[in-house]
């Protein structure tokens, strides 16, 4: 290993050629083949020198030295420019990855991919929209609870027939059969997914904590409408049934969860 | 919510309601109106268009009892019901 280091140094820095001469005889004596291999390897990567330099064993003629020096400078300049380009490309890639986030968001809004809210969802249109009387849709209702919440939660109607552009009211019922107040929070889901963007809720009971006192039963309304543009969407041409599904979760931490395998939730009707 | 992991397939994103959440009717103040609405639905085979009057009354009850923010009914989509007050009396079941 030391030998290789010696050789590398001596090849790249011509001023130390005295070292070269002294060591070269040793090398020759010991490991000629290996020296030559390392020598050519080193030349290829580090110095890009013509191998004839080694055989001369002189300090080198001045003209040749200046030639190689200018070549060296050329190479160095080229290396620098190449490195600059690569660095610029790297920085550009990093910048692009940062810029991609808002750009992708814009693209999604424009194209509607990923289910993002279509830009232009107007809350004021409730006033001005006209019902599309000839397109009757059936909305079915589903109610679920998480395993740990002990409410009886179910819809009060299994289905309702609406038309797009008309506001509709639907009810769910929740009962707390336990002796402790329970706070629940719900979320909803609309199937088919694409119809979900047309399903606009004016007011409902989701996403906020709802507290039920012991043995209390309440009616929970959902006031919604289907966007009239539903009728004009070709992808919705075959959709006749939309299912609205609510799921209640328990909001308060620290409540005792039922033992696994033993659930007090009653069956939904 | 939705488990579709495809890039191009639409997934469902829940949206918050426009006017927020209904406060719970703990005291059942509007229960009568709700029952009227439910019977109307049952009688009309769950057709919402025929029971809009009852839903309007239910919402009015909520507004009167501080269970809903007061809003002009046109904004809730009941413009057609307000324009014809004389017919309202005839439509009542």
pLDDT digits (tens, 9 = 90+) for A197-221: 888 888 888 888 888 888 888 989 9
**Is the CB of B18 less than 8 angstroms away from the CB of A202?**
yes
- How large is the average pLDDT for residues A236-258? 78
Residue B85 phi/psi, 5-degree rounding, is -65, -30
Contact B21, A205 (CB under 8 A): yes
Higher pLDDT, A4 or A269: A4
CA trace torsion A32, A34, A37, A43 (10° rounding): -80
Higher pLDDT, A152 or A28: A152
- Which residues of chain A form beta strands (DSSP E)? 137-145, 152-155, 159-162, 167-175, 182-191, 199-203, 210-212, 217-226, 241-250
Q: Hey, is the C-beta of B79 within 8 angstroms of any chain A C-beta?
A: yes
Of the candidate ranges A49-58, A90-99, A165-174, A198-207, the one whose mean pLDDT is the lowest: A49-58
Q: Hey, is the C-beta of B92 within 8 angstroms of any chain A C-beta?
A: no
CA trace torsion A65, A67, A69, A72 (10° rounding): -140
pLDDT for position A120: 45
Q: Hey, is the C-beta of B35 within 8 angstroms of any chain A C-beta?
A: no
Q: How many angstroms separate the CA atoms of A90 and A245, rounded?
A: 48
Q: How many angstroms separate the CA atoms of A57 and A77, rounded?
A: 29
Q: Hey, is the C-beta of A34 within 8 angstroms of any chain B C-beta?
A: no
CA distance B21 to chain A (A): 5
Residues of B in contact with A189 (CB under 8 A): 1-2, 12, 14
pLDDT at B90 over 70: no
Of the candidate ranges A43-47, A187-191, A231-235, A249-253, the one whose mean pLDDT is the lowest: A43-47
- How large is the average pLDDT for residues A112-117? 54
Minimum Cα–Cα distance from B79: chain A residue: A127
**What's the pTM?**
0.60
- How large is the average pLDDT for residues A1-17? 59
């Amino acid at each position: 290993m030391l030998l290789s280091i010696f050789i590398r140094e001596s090849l790249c820095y011509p001023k130390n050629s005295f070292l070269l001469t002294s060591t070269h005889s040793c090398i020759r004596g010991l490991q000629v083949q290996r020296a030559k291999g390392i020598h050519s390897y080193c030349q290829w990567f580090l110095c890009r020198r013509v191998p004839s330099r080694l055989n001369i064993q002189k300090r080198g003629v001045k003209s040749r030295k200046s030639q190689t020096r200018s070549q060296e400078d050329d190479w160095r300049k080229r290396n620098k420019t190449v490195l600059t380009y690569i660095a610029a490309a790297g920085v550009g890639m990093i910048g692009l990855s940062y810029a991609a986030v808002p750009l992708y968001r814009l693209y999604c809004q424009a194209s509607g991919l990923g289910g993002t809210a279509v830009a232009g969802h107007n809350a004021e249109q409730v006033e001005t929209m006209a019902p599309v009387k000839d397109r009757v849709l059936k909305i079915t209702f589903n109610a679920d609870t998480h395993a740990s919440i002990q409410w009886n939660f179910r819809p009060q109607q299994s289905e309702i027939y609406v038309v797009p552009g008309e506001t509709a009211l639907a009810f769910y019922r929740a009962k707390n059969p336990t002796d402790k107040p329970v706070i629940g929070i719900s979320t909803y889901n609309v199937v088919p997914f694409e119809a979900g963007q047309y399903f606009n809720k004016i007011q409902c009971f989701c996403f906020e904590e709802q507290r039920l006192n012991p043995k209390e039963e309440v009616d929970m309304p959902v006031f919604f409408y289907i966007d009239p543009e539903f009728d004009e969407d070709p992808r919705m041409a075959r959709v006749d049934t939309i299912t609205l599904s609510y799921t209640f979760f328990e909001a308060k931490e620290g409540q005792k969860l039922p033992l696994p395998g033993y659930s007090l939730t009653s069956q939904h009707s | 919510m939705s488990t579709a992991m495809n890039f191009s397939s639409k997934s469902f994103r829940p949206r918050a309601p426009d006017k927020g959440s209904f406060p719970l009717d703990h005291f059942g103040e509007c229960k009568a109106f709700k029952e009227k609405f439910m019977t109307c639905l049952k009688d009309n085979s769950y057709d919402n268009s025929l029971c809009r009057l009852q839903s309007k009354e239910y919402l009015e009850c909520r507004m009167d009892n501080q269970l809903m923010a007061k809003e002009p009914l046109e904004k809730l989509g009941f413009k057609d019901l307000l324009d014809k007050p004389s017919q309202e009396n005839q439509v009542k079941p």
